Chains A and B, each alone.
Chain A
Amino acid sequence: MADYKMHVLVCGGTGCKASQSELIKKNFQNQLEERGLDQDVQVIHTGCFGFCEQGPIVKIQPDNTFYVGVTPEDSREIVEEHLIKGRKVERLLYTDPTTLGQITESKNMDFYKKQVRVALRNCGFINPENIEEYIGNNGYAALGKCLEELSPEQAIQTIIDSGLRGRGGGGFPTGLKWDITRKVEHEQKYVVCNADEGDPGAFMDRSILEGDPHTVIEAMAICGYCIGANKGLVYIRAEYPLAIQRLKTALRQARQYGLLGQNILGTDFDFDIEIRYGAGAFVCGEETALIHSMEGKRGEPTFKPPFPSQEGYLGKPTNVNNVETFANVPPIITKGAEWFSSIGTEKSKGTKVFALAGKINNVGLIEVPMGTTLREVIYDIGGGIKNGKEFKSVQTGGPSGGCLTKAFLDTPIDYDNLLAAGSMMGSGGMIVMDEDDCMVSIAKFYLEFTLDESCGKCTPCRIGNKRLHEILEKITEGKGTPEDLTKLRMLSHVIKDSSLCGLGQTSPNPVLSTLDNFMHEYEAHINDSTCPAGQCKALLQYIIDDEKCTGCTLCFRNCPVGAISGEKRSPHYIDQTLCIKCGACYEKCKFDAIKIA
């Protein structure tokens, strides 16, 4: 049994590996072996620390010292000074940019932790299928506190004071919504949880329901108590079987423990929850469409007002909140409004969960305080762009959001800043794009999604988006004209202004934001018939380099349309009128003789 007294943890994340962290590890091992310390100190590689801009990172345990910007040569000094003599190598410690002081105390060594888990506090810690683990982690204490100590008004005031805003994307103040629903007088009201997460690339709500279903149940009960409802409904898409199964288990357990049902915790408060399944239509995330779908009608939105708070499910006052919004409620009640509002920015309080996806190293589920910059999210937590490529854009807000450029990397993320930048918070999908992504094609991709998902009720959305898509199609085929750009912009504004619901009102956003931020790419497609990212097939040309071609005939034999001709052992030629740009020749060529122009 090895009995190591110390550990040297060398970051082996993609960013640090690129700056020689392999060699750093090897040097440490050599240094330790030379001094006969290799049985006392173990050197290992770890995953990403989430602080890549200061890499390579080396952490010493058990004293928790955190060294930044370590080079392979530094290993000798760290071994001699720190490991043997117990003196920290001060020049390699992190310097706090505000105080310019070095961080030497191990208790202050958590500065690199940019994430704060509030909504995800139990995800990955407790067994989601065991209610006792949730209770052991302070679960249902917030409901208990509300029922015993707080009046509905006081509980709502706590939510209002906390500054919590809807996490589904709109950002409406949650406490205010509860207050409005509370004030509508009716003997029957409903609490609805919107778990119809439909943005491509988003999986925050699914993860919360899979990892911590009881937090949603508890928060819905709290909401019921506050607004005067005794019935809750979870609208969840049928494509989330595991989330549904865990939610069902959780509901059953909550009823068994008397935390749902009649006379909860010995009070006269009754509350129970039912599940309603959605068939996975994007528009059903819009609250009026969601309510219609739950009623068994077509999932089509209707004009607001009346708001669901006044006339919602079955015409009764209904409070609709998103999964992540609910997940924030229990800790706000137990820890207080002040605690919650101390996190975040002036107008956006608390944290936000993001699903990081796309061309990024550490794809994952993250939760950061509002006000964290895109750069911190992408380069520190996300570990930078895959394969060392250049960052081009980040898409937030899904099909309703926009694409932001490098210029916005240092913008603190909150509802208002993203909106001002031409995108939106959305539910929290964040898709990172690199230099190989064509922005015209990206805009087209999102419009395709909208076209599929438009319910067809109102003309601007049904027909307008179709026309937008046709123009984009034309541009990516190299047939665009300069007038198309004006048309795109004008039509986008008409659709935004005249559509019935949020889906149509936001669907042109990807087009508008790419027009604003990547005009040069549109112009390249139209004026120069080229696609700068090399993605639009119609604008590519496969050409054979005469000097490299050996005349092996491999391309000739693999071309499916017979566009390649040439004599054996002499350079071949591609007939551009026949070429379908399938790329088969490019993949097969062993001499790197085929070029994309």
Chain B
Amino acid sequence: MTKVRSLADLKKLKEEVQSKIKLREKGDHPENLIQIKVSMATCGIASGAKETMNFMIEELDHQGIDALVTQTGCMGFCYAEPTIELTMPGKQPVIYGYVDKQKAQEIIDRHIKMNELVDGIIPVNYKTIDD
């Protein structure tokens, strides 16, 4: 357990975490690491995000695809829950809405394995504080 004792510690930890994320993204096997974030706020969970997340973890595991599946908060697209964000190695993140098991299967089969886009991408329509 890292105990942050000073601002310098905090900055060091921030850099460590950032390089860890970078390592994850641009590590030794960049062709392998696929990241999936599942929006898991109350609205997402109520629409079945847990089932989607479990299904994706199992299915990716079953097919032997190395991917990092994590949870995150509300992306704001409540009308299209469950939503996921998929980042293929070296590509921009893509958000999909209405991801039930069937859609998740399609995303795995077509986007992750074939590198095609699938209908139903939600364009990011906001700016961040760094823009």
Residues of A near any B CB (own CB < 8 A): 1-4, 7, 9, 11-12, 42, 44-51, 59, 110, 112-118, 120-129, 132-133, 135-136, 138-141, 144-145, 147-148, 203, 206-208, 210-212, 240, 242-243, 256-259, 265-266, 331, 335, 361-367, 381
Residues of A within 8 A of B3 (CB): 256-258
Contact between A59 and B123, CB atoms less than 8 A apart: yes
Contact between A210 and B123, CB atoms less than 8 A apart: no
Q: How far is A2 from B117 in the complex, measured between Cα atoms in Å?
A: 10
With A117-B126, A242-B42, A265-B10 as known contacts, state yes or no: A124 contacts B115, CB within 8 Å: no
Q: How far is A50 from B114 in the complex, measured between Cα atoms in Å?
A: 29
- 28 residue pairs of the A-B complex, CB under 8 angstroms, read A1-B115, A2-B114, A4-B116, A7-B117, A9-B121, A9-B123, A45-B119, A46-B119, A59-B123, A115-B125, A116-B126, A117-B126, A121-B129, A123-B41, A123-B74, A124-B72, A124-B85, A140-B10, A145-B7, A207-B43, A211-B72, A212-B73, A257-B2, A259-B4, A265-B5, A266-B6, A362-B79, A365-B74
> What sequence of 0s and 1s flags, for each residue 104-131 of chain B, a beta carbon within 8 Å of any chain A beta carbon?
0000000001111111111111111101
With A2-B115, A132-B17, A242-B45 as known contacts, state yes or no: A265 contacts B72, CB within 8 Å: no
Min distance, Cβ B79 to any Cβ of chain A, angstroms: 4
The main secondary structure of chain B at its interface with chain A is mixed
Contact between A47 and B1, CB atoms less than 8 A apart: no
In residues 35-87 of chain B, which contact A (Cβ within 8 Å)?
37, 39, 41-43, 45, 70-80, 85
Min distance, Cβ A60 to any Cβ of chain B, angstroms: 13
Contact among A4, A7, A120, A141 for B76, CB-based, below 8 A: A120
Contact between B14 and A117, CB atoms less than 8 A apart: no
Contact between B128 and A132, CB atoms less than 8 A apart: no
Contact among A9, A50, A122, A363 for B73, CB-based, below 8 A: A122
Whether B21 sits at the interface, judged by CB under 8 Å, is yes
Contact between A136 and B126, CB atoms less than 8 A apart: no
Contact among B18, B42, B74 for A124, CB-based, below 8 A: B74
With A140-B10, A203-B43 as known contacts, state yes or no: A365 contacts B119, CB within 8 Å: no
Contact among B6, B14, B123 for A50, CB-based, below 8 A: B123
Q: Tell me the count of chain B residues lying within 8 A, CB to CB, of chain A.
A: 53
Contact between A135 and B10, CB atoms less than 8 A apart: yes
Min distance, Cβ A221 to any Cβ of chain B, angstroms: 13
Residues of A within 8 A of B6 (CB): 265-266
Contact between A211 and B126, CB atoms less than 8 A apart: no
Contact between A113 and B4, CB atoms less than 8 A apart: no
The A/B interface has a contact count, at CB < 8 Å, of 186
Whether B23 sits at the interface, judged by CB under 8 Å, is no
Q: How far is A296 from B1 in the complex, measured between Cα atoms in Å?
A: 37
Q: How far is A26 from B50 in the complex, measured between Cα atoms in Å?
A: 35
Contact among B17, B18, B73, B120 for A211, CB-based, below 8 A: B73
For A331, give the chain B residue with the smallest CB separation. B129
With A135-B14, A141-B10 as known contacts, state yes or no: A124 contacts B73, CB within 8 Å: yes
Contact among A3, A259, A366 for B115, CB-based, below 8 A: A3
For B45, give the chain A residue with the smallest CB separation. A242
Min distance, Cβ A261 to any Cβ of chain B, angstroms: 10
Residues of B within 8 A of A364 (CB): 76-79
For B80, give the chain A residue with the smallest CB separation. A47
Residues of A within 8 A of B97 (CB): 47
Contact between A210 and B74, CB atoms less than 8 A apart: yes
For B10, give the chain A residue with the smallest CB separation. A144
Min distance, Cβ B37 to any Cβ of chain A, angstroms: 8
Contact between A265 and B4, CB atoms less than 8 A apart: yes
Residues of B within 8 A of A117 (CB): 126-129
Q: How far is A210 from B77 in the complex, measured between Cα atoms in Å?
A: 15
Name 20 extra pairs, CB < 8 A, besides A124-B76, A148-B7, A265-B6. A46-B119, A47-B77, A47-B121, A49-B125, A50-B125, A115-B126, A116-B128, A120-B76, A121-B128, A121-B129, A122-B73, A123-B75, A145-B7, A203-B42, A203-B43, A206-B41, A207-B74, A363-B78, A365-B78, A367-B76
Residues of A within 8 A of B116 (CB): 2, 4, 42
Contact between A126 and B117, CB atoms less than 8 A apart: no
Min distance, Cβ B22 to any Cβ of chain A, angstroms: 10
Task: Please provide the 9 A-B residue pairs with the shortest distance between their CB atoms, ordered closest to farther.
Answer: A211-B73, A115-B126, A124-B75, A136-B17, A50-B125, A47-B122, A144-B7, A266-B6, A365-B76
Q: How far is A428 from B45 in the complex, measured between Cα atoms in Å?
A: 23
Min distance, Cβ A135 to any Cβ of chain B, angstroms: 5
Contact between A265 and B41, CB atoms less than 8 A apart: no
Min distance, Cβ B60 to any Cβ of chain A, angstroms: 17
Contact among B14, B43, B85, B120 for A138, CB-based, below 8 A: B14
Residues of A within 8 A of B21 (CB): 136
Residues of B within 8 A of A116 (CB): 126-129, 131
Q: How far is A256 from B2 in the complex, measured between Cα atoms in Å?
A: 8
For B41, give the chain A residue with the smallest CB separation. A210
Q: How far is A155 from B21 in the complex, measured between Cα atoms in Å?
A: 31
Contact between B119 and A265, CB atoms less than 8 A apart: no
Contact between B127 and A113, CB atoms less than 8 A apart: yes
Min distance, Cβ B84 to any Cβ of chain A, angstroms: 10
Q: How far is A46 from B14 in the complex, measured between Cα atoms in Å?
A: 35
For B110, give the chain A residue with the smallest CB separation. A2
Identify which of B6, B37, B123 gathers the most chain A CB atoms within 10 Å of its CB.
B123
For A367, give the chain B residue with the smallest CB separation. B126
